[in-house]
């Protein structure tokens, strides 16, 4: 996962290249807030998320910086579920 600088386009998961303008048109939420990209192994973008929403979904401490929050989210996502 990485922060999107909103100045460069990228390829979607199916390989479709998109300019910044096309991304904003397809995904209006990307105009505001801090946007996080989930890159696939081939470098294409498999997911586009708003960091504020991810913080809520994963119950991330509001006192953490954006970088610390993203690290915490990645840790949660990469931790296998425990069997009970």
> What's the number of domains the chain is made of?
1
**What is this structure's pTM?**
0.87
* Residue 84 lies inside a defined structural domain of this protein: no
Q: Max CA-CA distance within the chain?
A: 47
Q: Per-residue pLDDT tens, the chain, 84 aa: give them.
A: 999 999 999 999 999 999 999 999 999 999 999 999 999 999 999 999 999 999 999 999 999 999 999 999 999 999 998 888
Domain extent at residue 6: 2-78
* Residue 83 lies inside a defined structural domain of this protein: no
CB atoms within 10 A of CB 79: 8
DSSP string for residues in the chain:
-EE--SSS-EEBTTS-EE-HHHHHHH-GGGGSS-EEEEE-TTS-EEEEEEHHHHHHHTT--TTS-HHHHHHHHHHHHHSPPPP-
Please state, in angstroms and rounded to a whole number, the distance separating the CA atoms of residues 70 and 67: 5
* Residue 53 lies inside a defined structural domain of this protein: yes
* Residue 13 lies inside a defined structural domain of this protein: yes
Structure tokens at 36: 């996080």
* Residue 28 lies inside a defined structural domain of this protein: yes
């Amino acid at each position: 996962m990485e922060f999107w600088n909103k100045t460069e386009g990228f390829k979607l998961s199916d390989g479709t290249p998109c300019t910044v303008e096309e991304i904003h048109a397809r995904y209006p939420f990307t105009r505001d807030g801090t946007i996080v990209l989930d890159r696939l192994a081939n470098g294409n973008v498999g997911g586009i998320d708003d960091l504020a929403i991810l913080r809520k979904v994963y119950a991330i401490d509001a006192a953490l910086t954006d970088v610390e929050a993203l690290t915490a989210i990645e840790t949660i996502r990469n931790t296998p579920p425990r069997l009970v």
